Chains A and B, each alone.
Chain A
């Protein structure tokens, strides 16, 4: 494996503060990062992009001092650097703002910023100086809406994020990494963050910016590094790449899976589930239909509101507006219990926390819904459980085995069995193949085909683009809590990704046109080099790539 140094002629030569060379990381024998070279320069905003699971988070955690790399070297100011903890990294000027906040909501802004190093005077904490210093920092960064004495818990999410950044600046951070800083922000809040990032840049701070949102990346970032399957695909100046080129480098991850063909006799029938303009605090104006025998995929980035749709349908966080129709009848579901009674099933995203009683047996888990919702018939219905379990190829010593000792795949089969015995008309699968092995994935796909053949309506929520593209009859893409568009079966991953990230900033019609052009040119994808650890600039792309940018 040769390591080519990243030559970047387009940028004036500023010596990097932090250099990563050949960084690799393994978890339990699985290689998640290989040969990453990264130069972080002062006053530069460096975007780190890639699909879910591409390795961005791991790379950030290595830089933050959370993980130690298994291969390669890091140098800070030309001296070898090993960060033993996030605090150690922070003290030498490398701060990270994670998605989950490291703040104390009950304490004030100043107390949070100076936590663990409160200034003292005559042995007592000098609260006045703490407030004053925080106030100065806030003014310097142009933040007028926040005062040092405000309780952090009373601030908005954006403001809390800003407090985190202010904390980093107070450590004299020279490098600040931000992990999807806008993921939880509303549009007008994003402006605040933009402004702050620009000011930090002016101060010569290097910023490592992880985001899925292409608009932000092109607005803010100077350099882009794309990761895919743990490899560095390219590192390029933002000016040298277009949004759709970027999308193309991100997608097309290797997917070790097998997708069962659709049975041609399975055709969509009656509308089983219909949402008409539903919304609550997390999603807005969503209209969709799922027919019997149909698989509808709900794609989108994490945090785009897909799971919230599932929770809304299932009555966990009910919609506050719009109508939900099940088999043509309007329902107002305000609890999961009512949802089950109405013939719905929901395989939740986090099977350990929400799907299983880990300390109980397979059988007890499989009976969970039956016993609690339909106790009268559960005895007779439960007799089908062994049959269902074996049809899912569940591997376990006995039905009395506690589910905590099963593999992820087998655990997921127990969750599926739990719902199958209730004979649902509509089943919502939220990330059904996350963290399970190839064999179990295949079982899930086979099951989806069988269910549709039996006339069940399937709503599939997934971040695995290959899965979405191969399994769905129709693909709905969500962005920022709203539907961004609908794509037919057989659309390619790139089009889905473009919609989800907002690569096309024009109106939906334009995107749809562009996407159809893209779909006709699959060779554009093939023209890309395979995953390689060498930095690469896609300067010479085929000219037939869709001219989506014309409008802009």
Chain B
């Protein structure tokens, strides 16, 4: 009988999946858990000082803080998901605040024209970023830094101070509140919802995850990877453009110096704090909003507690590093390692059929 041992009937799917089916707390869940934790600590700390963290003015301040960084960080999420990066966002914010304000020129009838002009300029910058990265294959870090510097040069030479003027009707975007909630925050949440839908419900979004996860796999699956990258950059710049309009509404004028706010690095910090992998392929807009909220809670608490600005930055830095270190630990997934034997101190048991002698163990049927 030369037939070899036939394989046992369907032991297929032998390892029961019950262990794995237990839904692990996703990254976004952890971000919001962290947010709640930090919020609790803040409430206690502020309470100990005899303050009320949930007073209308504090909440309004906090939400105002979120919206500006929120827009930029939501945009940044798209590009980071695609394993890209955008360092030009700060300059785009400044440029769009000026484009918006100068186009409106104080005329209430030109508000929409100003909005469209600012967003068109933003989209143009994003298109350039995306094409330089996908077509010229320039590293995103360098490409967006270069584009940012070009915008900076233009702003520095053409606009020494504030430029243009925003009509009162549009300033409402910066100041109007419904209860403690600023309109800008509502708009930000709306943009976030659109972002969530894009990433989780459209092919474009799915493909961004694929491009960021493994560009070769994406290409082999027929995805036009260049398009995904360009789209992400256009969306990112558009979000920065909206942030620029918000700046213009708040200052009632365009201001070139906004680029020194550090929105570029803050937005990246917020995205990473929100659980998005800096190497792309995993993340969410909801997480980013959580990350932005964490930063806003921290800033508000530091302000209310009147913490020295130097120490404030030290704390922020430490918290960001700690958070990302925590996420990194979770990514080591023991299930996907290619262990052939148990790692333990004792020798691994040989195959169940148990042929005697160590030399034959591996060959048993």
Residue positions of A touching B, CB distance < 8 A: 85-87, 102-107, 111, 115-118, 120, 123-125, 127, 142-147, 150, 153-157, 160, 184, 186-188, 191-192, 194-196, 215, 218-219, 242, 277, 279-285, 305, 320-321, 479-485, 502, 505, 507-508, 549, 552
A35 to chain B, nearest CB (A): 30
Q: Knowing that A321-B345, A481-B362 are A-B contacts, what are 9 other residue pairs whose CB atoms are under 8 Å apart, sorted by A's residue number?
A: A102-B214, A145-B14, A157-B338, A192-B12, A215-B4, A283-B341, A284-B347, A320-B343, A483-B358
**In the complex, what's the smallest C-beta–C-beta distance from B308 to chain A, in angstroms?**
41
Give the distance to chain A from B343, nearest Cβ to Cβ, in Å: 5
Q: In the complex, which residue of chain A has the Cβ closest to the Cβ of B17?
A: A145
Q: Which B residues between 68 and 92 are near A, CB-CB below 8 angstroms?
A: none
A160: chain B residues at CB < 8 Å are 336
Most buried by B among A124, A283, A482, A484: A482
Using an 8 Å CB-CB cutoff, how does the interface string of B206-237 with A read, 1 for contact, 0 for none?
Answer: 11011001101110111100000000000000
B4 touches A143 (CB 8 A): no
| Shortest Cβ gap from B217 to chain A (Å) | 5
Partner of B214, one of A104, A194, A283: A104
- Chain B residues whose C-beta falls within 8 Å of the C-beta of A145 in the assembled complex: 12-17
Interface contact B11-A281, CB-CB below 8 Å:
no
**Would you list which residues of chain B between 197 and 212 have a CB under 8 Å from chain A?**
197, 201-203, 205-207, 209-210
B190 CB within 8 Å of chain A: no
Whether, in the assembled complex, B1 has its beta carbon less than 8 Å from a beta carbon of chain A, the answer is yes
Is there an interface contact between A106 and B209, defined as CB atoms closer than 8 Å? yes
Q: Is the CB of A146 within 8 A of B13?
A: yes
Q: Which residue of B lies closest to A145 (CB)?
A: B13
Q: Is B21 an interface residue (CB 8 A)?
A: yes
B2: chain A residues at CB < 8 Å are 242, 549, 552
Of the A-B pairs whose beta carbons lie under 8 Å apart in the complex, a sample of 21, sorted by A's number, is: A102-B220, A106-B277, A106-B281, A116-B222, A144-B13, A147-B21, A154-B336, A155-B336, A187-B362, A188-B14, A191-B8, A215-B363, A218-B4, A219-B7, A277-B347, A281-B339, A281-B341, A284-B361, A321-B344, A321-B347, A484-B362
Residue of B8, B221, B347, B357 near A116 (CB, 8 A) is: B221
* Contact in complex: B345, A124 (CB < 8 Å): no
In the bound complex, how far is the Cα of B10 from the Cα of A85, in angstroms? 36
A125 in contact with B203 (CB, 8 Å): yes
Whether a CB of chain A sits under 8 angstroms from the CB of B351 is yes
A184 to B362 Cα, complex, angstroms: 13
Query: Considering only CB atoms, which chain B residue lies closest to A286 in the complex?
Result: B358
Chain A residues within 8 Å of B282, by CB: 106
Asked whether, in the complex, the Cβ of A107 is within 8 Å of the Cβ of B12, the reply is no
Number of residue pairs spanning A and B whose beta carbons lie under 8 angstroms apart: 191
Contact A192/B201 with A106-B213, A280-B343, A507-B355 known, Cβ cut-off 8 Å: no
Cross-chain contact A505 with B4 (CB below 8 angstroms): yes
Q: Mark B326-365, 1 if CB is under 8 A from A, else 0.
A: 0000000101111111111111100110011111111111
Inside 8 A of A196's CB, which chain B residues have their CB?
12
Among residues of B, the one whose C-beta sits closest to the C-beta of A184 is: B338
Cβ-closest chain A residue relative to B224: A116
> Which 9 pairs between the two chains have the least Cβ-Cβ distance?
A145-B13, A480-B362, A116-B221, A281-B339, A144-B13, A104-B213, A106-B282, A116-B222, A115-B221
The residue in B344, B362, B364 that gathers the most chain A C-beta atoms within 10 A of its C-beta is B362
Whether A187 lies near B206 (C-beta < 8 A) is no
Give every chain A residue within 8 A of B218 (Cβ-Cβ): 115-116
Q: Is the CB of B17 within 8 A of A143?
A: no
Known: A117-B222, A479-B362. A281 touches B7 (CB 8 A): no
Min CB distance, A417 to chain B, in Å? 34
Q: How far is the CB of A171 from chain B (nearest CB, A)?
A: 10
CA distance A485 to B341 in the complex (A): 19
Taking a contact as CB atoms under 8 Å apart, the answer to whether B4 and A187 are in contact is no
Q: Which of B203, B345, B358 contacts A118 (CB 8 A)?
A: B203
B20 an interface residue at 8 Å Cβ cutoff?
A: yes
Contact of B281 among A104, A142, A143 (CB under 8 A): A104
Task: Tell me the bound Cα distance from A485 to B13 in angstroms.
Answer: 33
Residues of A within 8 A of B197 (CB): 124
In angstroms, how far is the closest chain A Cβ from the Cβ of B341? 4
